[in-house]
Chain A
Amino acid sequence: MSDLNETVAAVQAVDISSGLASEGVSSFLAGIYSNGLLGVGLFILLLAGGVLLHRLNMDRTYRNVAATTRDGEVSPEDLREEMFTRQGSNFNAAAVVAWMLLFAAFAYFYFLTPEIFPGHNYYQMPTLSSGPLGFAAFGLFVLLLAGLAAAFIPRELYGYYELSRKTKVAIMLTVPVLALSIALSVQQGTIFPEVDPATRGLAFLALFGSEVALLFPVYAEARGGMR
């Protein structure tokens, strides 16, 4: 009988500790995603890091080529031309869409409902938010803003790296993942002022997971170059 009691107590202890752990993770996640400044800062930091590392990767390639060239004279334009790799139009199209959706998902997550930035969000525009196509108009507006940037980013960011098919698949998969993030944010907008933490957390993970995947080739090359 005492064995049974011990077992029951042990099971309860495990349940409690795992419950506490998942609760801890959830509250940690909620702490990050509900902190607008932290989230936006992280988003911009990852982007800026990617841009900076891309520059560093290009510079390092140039320096390495110059250092192994007899007189050290290499035309940067010629090197860029040689470095450029065609990744394929399916991939390029998906990458442009993914980058557009990344910005759209970011805007939907942080600027759709007032809970994160009460002074700067979609609900501050009553005409738009009261209209039947408000959410869509908001998204299209963001897509248009992001479209120009997104059209150039993939060419510059992926054209100079040898991407494996697995990396390409991972980047292309961000399209449905980001679409999911947008859909979940829209759902948050629909049920507002109620908040569903689980959906919110999932949308957050989809957004930042995709951002990491989209920038992965740059970070991976930078890591390889540091060896």
Chain B
Amino acid sequence: MRLCIVGIGGCGGHLAERFLKNQDVAPLKKSLGEHVSFGGVKGLWLEADVQETENQSFFGSEERGCYPCYFIPHDVIVSESKTSKLIVDRYGYDVKKQGFMRQAEFLKAVFEIFEADEEVKRSALSENGSENPILRAAWDRIRDYTTLAAAKENSGSEMCDGILFIVSLGGGTGTGFVNPITRYIRGERPAYPVFVLGILTEEGTDPQQRAKEAKRDLGASISLFDLLTKKVGVGVDGVILMDNQILVERFGQNYPAIDDFIHQSMRPFVAGRHYPGEDPPSLAMREKFIEGLDRPPILVPCYFRDRRRKDPEDELVRKALSEGKLFGCDPRRAEKAYVFTRGFMNLEEIGKAVARETGLSADRIEPWRKLGENGWDEVLIILRNPYGEKRGCEVKGNLEHRLHRVIRMAIRYMDDPESHLVKDGMPDLTKRALADYFYGDDGIRTRFEAGLKRIEEGEKPFFLDERNIFERSRQGTGAHDVHGRRKVDEDEVRTIVEQILKDRGLVN
């Protein structure tokens, strides 16, 4: 398994930096050799805010051929372009907006416009050569690091066979971008392994952007809802959840230390140096994660490490499942456990220890072992859907308890008149769509309430059906392709292609 790490937004960028850090030493700050990341991962940072990219020095510009690089997908749309103007005039959204300040619905709306509005699609196709140029551009950059790359400069074994998106749940860019991009990738590659690592922001007011918890929780709820309600093959193959609240309680507001710890805890997952014959491809990992499910699972990582000693399995597993949970949960509710170890450990002993702590049968425990380093033993246990207890939301420390709070806060924010989720200045079309999306009979508020009830009843999954903002506002007619887009007829394509070639001076 070799993953392509894609950090989206501020938090995603900070974490991607940890994963992509060059293990080689470059004395003159610029490496003269190839970039060597831990576990052989590759990747990039997707960001919407130019200033954010200028306030850091790790990622270089993709345009200048740097690696690791950042890429601003919205840059493919020119400010004065017809597409940009059309979206502003018709919907009131500025696709060139710098950052999204905790507004998950902003990006969700923008990408739905590209999927739903035929005129926008035609305009984008003629100006950018793609109906959805922002997502196309982002996917083109990501794909270069994967086994799907068209021109394989490196040998296939060095390319990534799966993607891990890293986002903050409750931010703006990551929260809003992760769903559209994964959906877009799925339109082209239904079976390519795509996982998400989502960091739920902590309780209380965010000290950096002063964003209220309720506002962030609405973004997190929308993003989680979209991630968890897409069917397997349409959405992602697993959402690995971490709770910043747990990390803040451990490290205080020291965010670099938190980022370091998140990376450290994920190292057994991405590390190389496997036990011979125990290196599963990402595709096998995907199959294990989604086995028997029709929707992506919630995956809770539990991590612990200790100095190397004899027979470490029992202690490591016990501590990982008690002290090392990175999102509150009841391990005895887990459907399956995927165990990644580093150090010398016995398969049977790992299985026995996990079975003892979780009550899972041996066939529901999947261990993979890797060699350790510097005298440390490590274990990362990823629990699949470790929730589902009736009234479990009343038990502090449970997954149900935390997510119940997040969804309740989201509803509270939606009900707050000061939230202005449907802004007065927006065109009527958008206002109607947003009002319907948030507050309609079948809107997201109703669905969140249904989700709360299902959590209280201990049902899995708690979110059921996907909900779009513009699904009722503006649907195109005619035949659709796998992306849900109308198929353009041959003459239309010919005219557009000729126009593009003419614009670029390739034909007279």
Which residues of A are interface residues toward B (Cβ below 8 A)?
A: 61, 64-65, 67-70, 74-75, 78-79, 81-83, 85-94, 161-162, 164-165, 168-169, 172, 220-221, 223-225, 227
Q: Whole-angstrom distance between the alpha carbons of A225 and B27 in the complex? A: 31
A215 to chain B, nearest CB (A): 16
Q: Whole-angstrom distance between the alpha carbons of A68 and B276 in the complex? A: 12
Q: Whole-angstrom distance between the alpha carbons of A79 and B369 in the complex? A: 13
Given contacts A78-B276, A88-B36, A227-B309, contact A68 B23 (CB under 8 A): no
Q: Whole-angstrom distance between the alpha carbons of A61 and B36 in the complex? A: 24
List B341-355 residues whose CB lies under 8 Å from chain A: 344-348
Given contacts A69-B275, A85-B272, A227-B309, contact A90 B32 (CB under 8 A): yes
Is B36 within 8 A of A164, CB to CB? no
Residues of A within 8 A of B272 (CB): 82, 85
Is B277 within 8 A of A169, CB to CB? no
Q: Does B25 contact A (CB under 8 A)?
A: yes
Residues of A within 8 A of B22 (CB): 88
Residues of A within 8 A of B24 (CB): 87-91, 168
Residues of B within 8 A of A165 (CB): 23, 25
Residues of B within 8 A of A89 (CB): 24, 32-34
Which residues of B are interface residues toward A (Cβ below 8 A)?
A: 22-27, 31-34, 36, 40, 272-277, 279, 307-309, 344-348, 369, 371, 373-375
Given contacts A90-B33, A225-B375, A227-B309, contact A85 B26 (CB under 8 A): no
Chosen A-B contacts, 30 in total, with CB atoms closer than 8 Å, are A64-B344, A65-B344, A68-B369, A75-B276, A81-B276, A82-B273, A82-B279, A83-B371, A85-B273, A87-B23, A87-B36, A88-B34, A89-B24, A89-B32, A89-B33, A90-B24, A90-B27, A90-B32, A93-B32, A93-B33, A94-B25, A161-B373, A162-B373, A162-B374, A165-B25, A168-B24, A172-B25, A221-B374, A224-B374, A227-B308
Q: Whole-angstrom distance between the alpha carbons of A225 and B308 in the complex? A: 8
Is A67 within 8 A of B33, CB to CB? no
Q: Give 10 nearest A-B pairs by CB, closest first.
A: A88-B24, A89-B33, A224-B375, A162-B373, A78-B276, A64-B344, A88-B36, A68-B346, A168-B25, A90-B24
**Apart from the given pairs A68-B345, A75-B276, A91-B24, 9 other A-B contacts in the complex at a CB distance below 8 Å:** A61-B371, A68-B347, A82-B272, A82-B273, A87-B23, A93-B32, A169-B25, A224-B375, A227-B309
A164 to chain B, nearest CB (A): 7
Q: Whole-angstrom distance between the alpha carbons of A172 and B347 in the complex? A: 39
Residues of B within 8 A of A221 (CB): 374
Is A88 within 8 A of B276, CB to CB? no
Closest to A78 in B: B276
Residues of B within 8 A of A87 (CB): 23-24, 36
Number of A-B contacts (CB under 8 A): 89
Is A70 within 8 A of B347, CB to CB? yes
Closest to A61 in B: B371
Closest to A69 in B: B275
* Of listed B23, B26, B34, B36, residue having the most chain A CB within 10 A: B23
Q: Whole-angstrom distance between the alpha carbons of A61 and B273 in the complex? A: 12
Q: Whole-angstrom distance between the alpha carbons of A202 and B472 in the complex? A: 81
Q: Whole-angstrom distance between the alpha carbons of A93 and B309 in the complex? A: 35
Is A68 within 8 A of B344, CB to CB? yes
Q: Whole-angstrom distance between the alpha carbons of A9 and B275 in the complex? A: 68
Q: Choose one: A65, A93, A172; the contact of B275 (CB below 8 Å).
A: A65
B157 to chain A, nearest CB (A): 12
Is B276 within 8 A of A82, CB to CB? yes
Q: Whole-angstrom distance between the alpha carbons of A87 and B309 in the complex? A: 27
Given contacts A61-B371, A227-B307, contact A86 B36 (CB under 8 A): yes
Residues of B within 8 A of A79 (CB): 276
Q: Whole-angstrom distance between the alpha carbons of A78 and B276 in the complex? A: 6
Residues of B within 8 A of A172 (CB): 25, 27
B234 to chain A, nearest CB (A): 36
Residues of A within 8 A of B277 (CB): 78
Closest to A220 in B: B374
Closest to B33 in A: A89
Residues of A within 8 A of B32 (CB): 89-90, 93
Residues of B within 8 A of A86 (CB): 23, 36, 40
Q: Whole-angstrom distance between the alpha carbons of A170 and B277 in the complex? A: 34
B76 to chain A, nearest CB (A): 33
Closest to A68 in B: B346
Residues of B within 8 A of A65 (CB): 275-276, 344, 371
Given contacts A65-B344, A225-B375, contact A82 B274 (CB under 8 A): yes
Closest to A169 in B: B25
B30 to chain A, nearest CB (A): 10
Residues of B within 8 A of A92 (CB): 33
Q: Whole-angstrom distance between the alpha carbons of A196 and B26 in the complex? A: 36
A7 to chain B, nearest CB (A): 49
Closest to A74 in B: B276
Residues of A within 8 A of B23 (CB): 86-88, 165
Q: Whole-angstrom distance between the alpha carbons of A165 and B38 in the complex? A: 11
Closest to A166 in B: B25
* Of listed A85, A94, A165, residue having the most chain B CB within 10 A: A85
Residues of A within 8 A of B33 (CB): 88-90, 92-93
Q: Whole-angstrom distance between the alpha carbons of A223 and B24 in the complex? A: 24
A59 to chain B, nearest CB (A): 13
Is B25 within 8 A of A91, CB to CB? yes
Residues of A within 8 A of B308 (CB): 224-225, 227
Q: Whole-angstrom distance between the alpha carbons of A99 and B258 in the complex? A: 38
Is A164 within 8 A of B274, CB to CB? no
Q: Choose one: B25, B346, B347; the contact of A88 (CB below 8 Å).
A: B25
Residues of B within 8 A of A220 (CB): 374
Q: Whole-angstrom distance between the alpha carbons of A227 and B347 in the complex? A: 22
Q: Whole-angstrom distance between the alpha carbons of A17 and B274 in the complex? A: 57
Residues of A within 8 A of B374 (CB): 162, 164, 220-221, 224
A90 to chain B, nearest CB (A): 5
Q: Whole-angstrom distance between the alpha carbons of A2 and B275 in the complex? A: 76
Residues of A within 8 A of B36 (CB): 86-88
Q: Whole-angstrom distance between the alpha carbons of A161 and B371 in the complex? A: 10
Residues of B within 8 A of A74 (CB): 276
Residues of A within 8 A of B344 (CB): 64-65, 67-68
B176 to chain A, nearest CB (A): 35
Residues of A within 8 A of B375 (CB): 223-225, 227
Q: Whole-angstrom distance between the alpha carbons of A69 and B32 in the complex? A: 40
Residues of A within 8 A of B309 (CB): 227
